[in-house]
Amino acid sequence: MTALLEELNSRQREAVLHRAGPLLILAGAGSGKTRVITRRVVWLIREGGVRPSEILAVTFTNKAAGEMRERIQEQLGSSSDAVWVSTFHSTGLSILREHGAAIGLPRSLVVYDDGDQLALLTRLMKDQGVDTTLLPPRAVRSRIDFAKSCGLGPDEMEVADHDLLGERARSVYRSYQAALRASGAVDFGDLLLETVSLLRRNEEVLELLERRLRYVMVDEFQDTSPVQYALVRLLTRKSGNLAVVGDDDQSIYGWRGADVRNILAFERDYPNAKVVRLEQNYRSTRVILDAAHAIIRRSPTRKEKRLFTDQSGGDLVRVLNAVDERDEAQLVARQIEAALSEGYSRGEMAVFYRVNAMSRVLEDALRERRIPYHVVRGRSFYERAEIKDITAYLRLAVNPHSDSDILRVINTPRRGIGTRTVERLRKAAAGSSGSIWSVLASPGSLKEVGPAAVRRLAAFREIIGKLHEMSTSSVSTKDIVREAMIGSGYVSSLEAEEAPEALERLENLHELLSVATERSSNGESLVQMLDDMALAGDADDDVEPEQVALMTLHAAKGLEFDVVFVIGMEERTFPHARAFAAGGWSEDEEALSEERRLCYVGFTRARRRLTLTSADSRWIMGERQVRSPSRFLEEIPSELIERSLRVSGSTAKRYGGRISSGPSWEGSPFPGEVPSNSDPDLVVVDYDFDQRPPDECGRRLRPGGRVRHRTFGDGKIHEVDGLGGNARLVICFDDAGIKKVLARYLEIL
């Protein structure tokens, strides 16, 4: 007993020794929560008379579950095998396999992954005659997944008034669920939704599980969705022995269905709950903890807690300002070299950024200085699928006879060219000892290819032919890349999806356009750019085992490093532009709170040194835009900062001998605008629909109005569906034809 508790502080012991009833453990970053959970399991078995098989410990990832299982086994040996340590989805699957017959699910049910799910939705939508250009299957999948995370079936799925596409998505949801049932299948969302449905509809099964599972513990409770919370509440309906461990300050997955209200309202749901706050931090220095608290304390809805540590002092937070993103990347690279000279190891350093696209210039700077790195939980910029897809189009612009590139993009985005047609193309090319491009020149010679397929092949050949013609003329690299993105239909297909991952892929494409814009300004050709990209892809082949970690702030959750850099600390970069209602005129309180929590998570990953960087301007969507320092920098007390850029009022930065005013610290809703085709030395500030006042937006966003899109150009509004930045508009563009575009991508003329 003594050995079990001797390494714990008083609050940790209090949590471990709680015998019965609901328990809320508010565990701050680095406060030893995993140790508390595992020790409590061991204490209940050794001292509380609880059988191992009566305990269920649930977490979110297989890795976390494995770590928890190993720690329990270290204390209990083989008797720990009966403790049910599992992820939420695995728990649901086990219950459905054993008891799913009660709601018509076979024991041999099949679990569909994302690809299976998308294929089924696509087939159903085609059968129903749904126009997948207006309602892409990925967008439907996103809506269904979110509905399931909220515990909503097709009949309960919430659809706003006049949301015609939402109504259609709900109809597809119904037929999708029917098709799953007919196939004896479930998707990942069903593993929880169907389990909750089973327990609510079948009292016998619920009582059986209640008798079996006397104690339920949930890790990372702040990340639970409504359906996950519903599941654990059902399982502990009678016993009340639900122990949850989490930190509302680290709830950063709202876009994935997590609901921070679960942890905030726990005491309302369980009035007799015991609350234990774990506030002693064993990871970071006092300076880092104080800086993090200065950010998170401004969150309007949180449970009060303040981390402390026995470690005194520590390096002050370094705040560095750069001219642009390249200067910022060089600053970070030099700081890494300096830290190496001080004795820090590469493996204990990490660079965090808000979106994946920001890794590109950073990778260039580290590669230039031969600093080994790896991109954590993500791909190197040039290895991401959307970048490789557009790169394939660009290689075809230079060499249309590249069969591998044709096969990659001939139906990407989807243009109705099926696998059988592609296979006939390949056979025809092999039979003539030529390339697929040569066969495309005379599609009439293809046997068993119908007229519709011939027309689609001709349209694809026209896309590549135009790119090839551009590459052999004096057209700039930037314009060729823009044409590859637009002419292929790639950008419009992503914009139509609406899903968070589609927006991130768009940001990556905008970063690629920024690369091309920069190359064009330096007079580089498309071939030179492609060569550099190819070499960059090969640079990681022979890296040292110890590498600097690059990752998004979301991916940083659960990790820790001696030295941490957080880059891009600017308004509309971090906090992200999506944290502002209608794109910038007013703040979205909950979205901004999640950005604040994300910042807190980033800061508290650092053990010994924290460096924050910002840039005066960045290439955004192919244009140079002024950025003002993040509000998060202003909120850090000056006594915690080693070197700081303090800004009040408006700022002005000089580029190429000319001045362009940037937004104020508070973020002016009307930043100055310079037309993109004007003097290239001037700074161009983003000015779009989302930055206008709401009343002006509502008055001018009407059929008949004129708008401008960054890639499609000017056009006339034909239809408006919805309000604000998420409104869907049907636009007849002067040059690009009819497109359906979200309002956030438009500027009102």
Q: Which residues pair with 352 in a beta bridge?
A: 551, 566
Q: Is 250 part of the annotated catalytic residue set? A: yes
Residue of 355, 373, 356 whose CA lies nearest to 364: 373
Tell me the C-alpha distance between 573 and 632, whole Å: 11
Cβ(607)–Cβ(561) under 8 Å?
yes
Sign of the torsion angle spanned by Cα atoms 373, 378, 382, 383: positive
4 membership: H or E segment, kind and range: helix 2-5
What does the buried/exposed string (b/e) look like for 668-695 if buried means 16 or more CB atoms within 10 Å of the residue's CB? Answer: bbebbebeeeeeeebbbbbbbbbbbeee
User: How far is CA 29 from its chain centroid?
Assistant: 21
Rounded to whole angstroms, what are the CA distances from 686 to 68, 379, 656, 691, 748? 48, 28, 19, 9, 13
Q: At 243, which helix (H) or strand (E)?
A: strand 242-246
Catalytic residue of the set 194, 220, 324, 363: 220
Paired with 731 in beta bridges are 717, 739
Q: Which of 54, 187, 219, 327 is catalytic?
A: 219
Closest CA to 320 of 64, 558, 631, 566: 566
573 catalytic? Reply is no
Catalytic residue among 14, 34, 303, 479: 34
DSSP character string of 57-100: EEES-HHHHHHHHHHHHHHHGGGGGGSEEEEHHHHHHHHHHHHG
Classify residue 629 by its DSSP letter: B
Distance CA 20, CA 270 (A): 13
Give yes or no: 613 in active site.
no
Nearest residue to 224 via CA among 194, 248, 242, 195: 248
CA 125 to the chain's CA centroid: 26
Q: Mark out the alpha helices in 77-220 (DSSP H runs).
A: 88-99, 114-127, 137-149, 164-182, 188-201, 203-212
Choice among 250, 552, 625, 711 that is catalytic:
250
Pick the catalytic residue from 13, 33, 138, 624. Answer: 33
What is the C-alpha to C-alpha distance for residues 382 and 399, in angstroms, rounded to an integer?
20
The alpha carbons of the chain give a radius of gyration, in whole angstroms, of 28
Kindly report the length of the chain: 749
Backbone φ and ψ of 564, nearest 5°: -125, 135
- Which helix H or strand E contains 566, and what residues bound it? strand 561-566
**346, 605, 624, 710: which is the annotated catalytic residue?**
605
Question: Is position 220 annotated as part of the catalytic site?
Answer: yes
Q: DSSP class of residue 745? A: G
> Do residues 250 and 600 make contact, with C-beta atoms less than 8 angstroms apart?
yes
522 CB-contact burial (10 Å; exposed 0-12 / middle 13-18 / buried 19+)? exposed
User: For residues 511 and 620, is the Cβ–Cβ distance under 8 A?
Assistant: no
Dihedral-angle region of residue 547 (phi above 0 means left; psi in -120 to 50 means alpha; beta otherwise)? beta
d(CA 391, CA 404) in angstroms, rounded, equals 12
Find the helix or strand (DSSP H, E) in which 38 lies.
helix 33-46
Q: Dump the DSSP string for 465-483.
A: HHHHHHHTTT--HHHHHHH
Q: By the 8 A CB rule, do 409 and 460 touch?
A: no
Query: Which residues are the active-site residues?
Result: 33-34, 219-220, 250, 605
